[in-house]
Amino acid sequence: MIRFTDVHKAFGPKVVLAGMTLDIPAGQTTVIIGFSGSGKSVALKHIVGLIEPDAGQVEVDGQVVHDLAPDALSLLRAGIGYVFQFAALFDSMTVGDNIRLGLRRHGLDPDEVATRVRESLHLVDLDEAEARYPAELSGGMRKRVGIARAIALRPRYILYDEPTTGLDPVTSAVIDELMVRARRELGVTGVVVTHDMRSAYTVGDRIAMLYQGRIRQVGTIEEIRQTDDPVVRNFIEGRPFDPDRLPAAEARA
Amino acid sequence: MDSARALADARTWAPHVLPQMRRLGVDSVPIALFIATFTGIVLALLSKYIFTGAVPMYFVGALVGKTIMMELGPVLTGLALAGRVGANIAAEVGTMRVTEQVDALETLAYNPNSYLVVPRVLAGVLMFPVVTALAVAIGVTAGWITAINLLDLSTLEFVKGLRLFYRFKDIWFGLLKAASFGAAVTLAGCLMGLATRGGAEGVGRNTTRAVVIGCEAILVLDAFWALVLL
Ligand SMILES: Nc1ncnc2c1ncn2[C@@H]1O[C@H](COP(=O)(O)OP(=O)(O)OP(=O)(O)O)[C@@H](O)[C@H]1O
Ligand SMILES: [Mg+2]
């Protein structure tokens, strides 16, 4: 269970999160949607302590992330896979070494490591890529390696930052399928940030919309599909949208 | 403190020290030797010019030896490596920072100080003295060759001058300085790299900063050691 409680975060004068509160229950996949620049990646980074909140707190399994001592934080991070928006692969290492690097922290024997590397690459349909360098891969392939690197750890949580953005429809569907299987077969709790509504409906159990630094609405897929909130409705239907034209009460949520 | 924790985490940094030593040290040898050769030649010619008439010519050996061992060897090598090594580290670590590779390391439960900073700083501390020692050897040799070919000095006279005021301290003083320069240059590179913000432009900016800070630190440390140890 991940819990955001009244999280505030600003970078200089730019307020990004302004009282974000959200419960992410274990064993489900929660999708976070929101406009570009609304702070979805920033919210995700709070979960693993890459960013500390200015106020409020983020808890993972009851532990307040920014209060953890370095060793405890390492331990927490070892149980969370993070798929970066732009993959963030180590470009001085082969694909295989990228995946192995994380596994080395888990004290596995070499056979087990080799198996996990092969398995996770197979899952993202990149069996041939183990010895290649990130610079030799396409953007979509890099993204899939990023997913493989997270899955290989067999974490309790996986945070996916726009896993299907920029992929062709077929590969996107493969990745969606992968996220669904990770939850169903490995019991992974997923947090998926995306703008891709088709993907959101496929992988999500619940959808939360981040808007102006807070959660505008959170609900099951059906609840979101049938929302009468104009901001959420505009977003999921992909209609041009001008926040100034909303009635004032609605714009504030 | 965090750096002490990072140092204690030997399992993380130990495998990276040797590759870094090769990259930072061995690859820097040609530039260091190039500089040392010309410094040796110029020093020999210069000391002849200074000593003409008044001082016995074998003092050429003393001046070349002392200045290269104690000052020019470490400092010029250090400044050259501040450009080469400092920029290299800052650009690499800075690129890792802006492409979120440093964040990725952290999410994989690595401490970037253990993984990135410690092996580079250790490699610098170990390799700067080695490169400096080579530069000193080549610099003195270049001075000697110049002296016997262009200054009608004999090898005997040059060596006599070289040994006249030589003390063991001349050597370790130079190498100790070199080690401290190695720490300063690599640390500046790592810290500027990790502090990089904002894309390619940020990488360029912090790379320049790392070189400038590295050079300044060398000059300040140079004066510091002279004050403390001479
Ligand atoms: N480290 C940082 N320093 C300063 N500003 C930042 C930093 N990280 C994010 N921001 C700012 O915070 C805001 C939200 O960024 P974020 O990356 O979370 O958006 P996002 O919702 O993930 O958008 P996208 O869908 O385009 O990825 C942006 O305006 C961004 O400029
Ligand atoms: Mg983002």
List pLDDT tens digits, range A207-236: 999 999 999 999 999 999 999 999 999 999
Split at pLDDT 50, 70, 90, the class of A242 is: low
pLDDT at A114: 94
Split at pLDDT 50, 70, 90, the class of A104 is: confident
Which residue's C-alpha comes closest to atom 30 of ligand 1?
A37
pLDDT at B7: 81
Give chain B's residues under pLDDT 70.
1-2
Residue B77: which of B65, B89, B85 has the closest Cα? B85
Ligand 1 pocket test: pick from A16, A32, A191, A195 the residue with the most ligand atoms within 8 Å of its Cβ: A16
Q: Confirm if B173 and B127 have CB atoms less than 8 A apart.
A: no
pLDDT at A249: 46
| Average pLDDT score, chain A | 92
Does a structural domain hold residue B7? no
Does a structural domain hold residue B9? no
What distance in Å separates the CA atoms of residue A204 and residue A103, rounded to the nearest whole number?
A: 28
pLDDT at A227: 93
Q: How many domains does chain B have?
A: 1
DSSP state, residue A163? S
Nearest chain B residue to A99 by CA: give it.
B108
Helix (H) or strand (E) holding A199: helix A197-203
pLDDT at B51: 82
Domain residue limits at B151: 15-229
Ligand 1: list residues with CB < 6 Å. A 11, 14, 16, 34, 36-42, 85
Q: Confirm if A106 and B110 have CB atoms less than 8 A apart.
A: no
Per-residue model confidence as pLDDT tens digits over B172-230: 999 999 999 999 999 999 999 999 998 999 999 999 999 999 999 999 999 999 999 98
Return the higher-pLDDT residue of A205 and A139: A205
Ligand 1 pocket test: pick from A31, A35, A42 the residue with the most ligand atoms within 8 Å of its Cβ: A42
Residue B28: which of B139, B124, B167 has the closest Cα? B124
All domains of chain A, ordered by start, with CATH? 2-220 (3.40.50.300)
Q: Confirm if A193 and A161 have CB atoms less than 8 A apart.
A: yes
Cβ–Cβ below 8 Å for B99 and A91:
yes
Does a structural domain hold residue B29? yes
pLDDT at A108: 87
Q: Confirm if B173 and B73 have CB atoms less than 8 A apart.
A: no
Residue A31: which of A168, A233, A247, A219 has the closest Cα? A219
What distance in Å separates the CA atoms of residue A185 and residue A179, rounded to the nearest whole number?
A: 10
Which residue's C-alpha comes closest to atom 24 of ligand 1?
A36
Does a structural domain hold residue B126? yes
Per-residue model confidence as pLDDT tens digits over A175-191: 899 899 889 988 999 99
Quote the tokens at residue B50. Answer: 């200074």
Quote the tokens at residue A147. Answer: 């997913």
DSSP state, residue A39? S
Cβ–Cβ below 8 Å for A101 and B108:
yes
Neighbours of B11 (CB within 10 A): 10
Q: Average pLDDT in the A113-130 region?
A: 93
What distance in Å separates the CA atoms of residue B182 and residue B17, rounded to the nearest whole number?
A: 14
Residue B28: which of B170, B149, B166, B178 has the closest Cα? B178
Per-residue model confidence as pLDDT tens digits over A148-170: 999 999 999 999 999 998 888 98
ipTM: 0.90
pLDDT at B14: 85
How far is C-alpha A33 from the chain's CA centre? 11
User: What does residue A70 show for φ and ψ, rounded to 5 degrees?
Assistant: -50, -40
What distance in Å separates the CA atoms of residue A14 and residue A91, rounded to the nearest whole number?
A: 31
